[in-house]
Amino acid sequence: MENKRLHIIKATLINVCRFLLAAVFIFSGFVKAVDPFGSTYKIQDYLEAFGISAWFPSFFPLLGAIALSTLEFALGVMLFFGIRKGTATLLTLFLICFMTPLTLYLAIADPVSDCGCFGDVWILTNWETFTKNIVLLLAAFVAFKWRYLIIRFISPKSEWLASLYSVIFILILSIYCLIHLPILDFRPYRVGVNIREDMSIPPDAKPGVYESIFILEKNGERKEFTLDDYPDSTWTFVDVRTALKEKGYEPPIRDFCMKSLETGDDITAEVLDDKNYTFLLIAHRIEGADDSNIDLINEIYDYSVERGYAFYCLTSSPEDEIEQWKDKTGAEYPFCLTDDMTLKTIVRANPGLALIKDGTILKKWSNNEFPDEYVLTDSLDKLRLGEERSTDLHKIGWTLLWFILPLSLILGLDLFLVKRSARLAKENQRLINPLIKNKMRKNIVAGNWKMNKTLREGIEFVKELKEILAEDKPNCEVLVCTPFIHLASVATILEVSAIGVGAENCADKASGAYTGEVSAAMVASTGAKYVILGHSERRAYYGETAGILKEKVKLALSNGLTPIFCIGEVLAEREANKQNEVVYTQLADSLFDLSVEDFSRIVLAYEPVWAIGTGRTATSLQAQEMHAYIRSVIADKYGKEAAENTSILYGGSCNPSNAKELFGNPDVDGGLIGGAALKAADFKGVIDGFKA
């Protein structure tokens, strides 16, 4: 009970961590994809701050920005749906492990003022970013460590489709926003903003409070003082500096300034106060501007002259570059100098175009969508683009719809397929075995590691298996039977899981001076519930006789263990057609003096010795014939009900490719698996033999 409660708390915590990470990654990937140039500039800032920008080709920042947003978004979606938990949580952990020390450095050294994690949507200070990363690091660690507890919302069959769609969606979104402008604009210069108003400080706004810090010296010791604690004249003055004590009101726009190249005058106020339309061609570096649309730019300029609108080109390039542009393009429009960062912020294109009126931004275009003669058909006050508008909300709606709708379709399809295969599996079972409705016996797939795996390997195996089966629930009972030394650790790991644990053997004595032996009680004390007895290898190599096995079975039962009792003929016996006789004798000599109650606790495993580890499998028909025979023998001895309730497993080179056919037989209730139980993926393949 206590364990169960703990398990629920743990699972809840892990899933909270996973959703937190998913939300952060989806959000940050999305906002970066919406504004790829924004992230590109940020990466450039970083490379410059670290003095390594020369190491990378010029396209690197843009490529890096798109790759980062795609990676973040895809990881977020994977975490959200529980897709490829191992890979997703490991990659998340790596990413955050890389980011956390980097953000600590940024917080301490402050080479770039805002980290850019969430684009312009949510600007964090470097210390806030570092704190955020510490929280995410903890969440990523928890999610990775207990990833098998992450609940999945999509079946493994459809997960690739959801992941692929998310990647395609985010890539298309990035490319769309590169070619056009960001569909969501969180910058100070978004459409609808009045630059003049956003530059002004309201009269009632609180100004910043500054104070003087005095640096004084006494007996070689230097100390800082303010006016409030200014010391006596025994201290000598060294220096004074001004520090910001309390942050005051800062207007949203602080850096907009247009300096005419011709006159050298600041014409900002004149342009912003103009009640008529003004076109601003914005090319933060004119030498890098895309010149494929120069004719169109010149046409827009001609149009503005014709209609009496102002037209300026704003750049931060030096004069000689501007002259070169003029020569190359025949530009006649006036140029103004504006800060590079400001221009990059106004429009994410080089060149871009903005239309303003009375200080308000009415529209922005990237160079791929400049208005042409078919748009500029009349004076602007008669056209829709001359009207004041706020950000296009419908674009956001469409974008979300393009993501949510197809993804919901994928999820719906997945649900339909999962339900259909469950229904088919049920029908199949019913067709295969008419007794299925009354079938009380369990279907079991048990792994027999034999003398394989070190303790560490065994532990890794069961952790992996547990995770795989938590993601994709088996349609049968699953057991792992391990060497003695693994039992306690494996049983602890599998305690809160649907996987059972068994030993491969136990002693034929209850306790005492039997050096090297392990009793049934000891096996049971580890938490194991099963024990394989009578395996052909033990009969052949360790001389286990029917009499010895009889003792072992009794001890196992009296210690609460379920024996998986193995029977089967060797090749010569099969060739002499003596298999039934051999199997009958093995059953009768070791089991048939059990009471019907005790016998009901036995699981049988028919393992033709010639098929064990040889790659030769009994045919499905051979297996069914023998299993039916064994069941008839039990029916004779213990009655039909007991026979119907006994699980009879098949063993001998059973693997993922033949399991389904073997398990499809009405009397085959699962398998005892050797070689194919040593790798989790193979073992899962065998377990899936019970799936449709």
Beta carbons of 569 and 614 less than 8 angstroms apart: no
Residues 118-147 that bind ligand PGA (CB under 6 A): none
Cis preceding-peptide flag for 474 (omega within 30 of 0): no
195 versus 654: smaller Cβ distance to ligand PGA: 654
Query: What 3-state DSSP class applies to 54?
Result: helix
Nearer to ligand PGA, 567 or 676 (CB): 676
User: Is residue 608 within the footprint of ligand PGA (CB under 6 A)?
Assistant: no
Question: Least distance to ligand PGA from the beta carbon of 614, Å?
Answer: 7
| Triad 273, 276, 282: Cα angle to 5° | 80
Round to whole Å and give the CA distance between 399 and 199. Answer: 32
Count of residues that interact with ligand PGA, criterion CB under 6 A: 13
Measured from the CB of residue 566, what is the shortest distance to ligand PGA in angstroms? 7
d(CA 652, CA 671): 9
C-alpha 609: how far from chain center: 46
177 binds ligand PGA per the rule CB under 6 A: no
569, 573, 607, 667: which one binds ligand PGA (CB under 6 A): 607
Provide the minimum distance between the beta carbon of 487 and ligand PGA in the complex, in angstroms, as a whole number: 17
Nearer to ligand PGA, 293 or 448 (CB): 448
In the complex with ligand PGA, which residue's Cβ is closer, 34 or 490?
A: 490
Residue among 28, 40, 278, 448 that touches ligand PGA (CB under 6 A): 448
How far, in Å, CA of 591 to CA of 646, rounded? Answer: 13
Write down the catalytic residue from 471, 535, 569, 627: 535
From residue 87, alpha-carbon distances to 62, 82, 601 in Å are 26, 10, 41
**What is the bridge-based pairing of β-strands 221-225 and 209-218?**
antiparallel
φ and ψ at 531, to 5 degrees? Answer: -150, 130
Can you tell me which of 82, 116, 651, 670 binds ligand PGA, judged by CB under 6 A?
651
652 binds ligand PGA (CB under 6 A): yes
How close are the terminal C-alpha atoms of the chain, in Å? 34
Kindly tell me which of 32 and 538 has the beta carbon lying closer to ligand PGA: 538
Footprint on residues 653-682 left by ligand PGA (CB under 6 A):
653-654, 672-676
Instruction: State the binding string over 611-640 for ligand PGA (x if CB under 6 A, else -).
Output: -xx---------------------------
* CA distance to 24, 85, 492, per residue, from 154 (Å): 20, 12, 29
C-beta closer to ligand PGA: residue 293 or 655 = 655
Edge-to-edge strand list for the sheet holding 209-218: 221-225, 209-218, 236-246
Whichever of 183 and 678 has its CB closer to ligand PGA, that residue is 678
DSSP-based helix, strand, coil % in the chain, nearest 5 = 50, 15, 35
Is 607 among the catalytic positions?
yes
User: Of 261, 303, 73, nearest to 170 (Cα)?
Assistant: 73
* Nearest-CB residue for ligand PGA: 674
Q: Which string of b and e fits 2-40 if b means at least 16 CB within 10 Å? A: eeeeeeeeebeebbebbebbbebbbbbbbbbbbbbbbbb
Which CB sits closer to ligand PGA, 28 or 655? 655
Query: Looking at the chain, how many residues does it have?
Result: 692
| Segment interacting with ligand PGA, rule: CB under 6 A, options 109-117, 281-289, 575-583, 605-613 | 605-613
- Given the residues 486, 537, 607, 627, select the one marked as catalytic: 607
**Is residue 199 within the footprint of ligand PGA (CB under 6 A)?**
no
The verdict on whether 661 is a catalytic residue reads no
CB of 649 to ligand PGA, least distance (A): 9
Query: Using alpha carbons only, how large is the chain's radius of gyration in Å?
Result: 38
Measured from the CB of residue 675, what is the shortest distance to ligand PGA in angstroms? 4
- Please choose, out of 219-227, 540-548, 627-635, 649-657, the segment that lies near ligand PGA by the rule CB under 6 A: 649-657
Please report how close the Cβ of residue 572 comes to ligand PGA at its closest, in angstroms. 18
Residue 311: C-alpha distances to residues 160, 276, 314, 329, 380 (Å)? 51, 11, 10, 16, 14
Catalytic residues: 535, 607
Question: What residues line the site for ligand PGA (CB under 6 A)?
Answer: 448, 607, 612-613, 651-654, 672-676
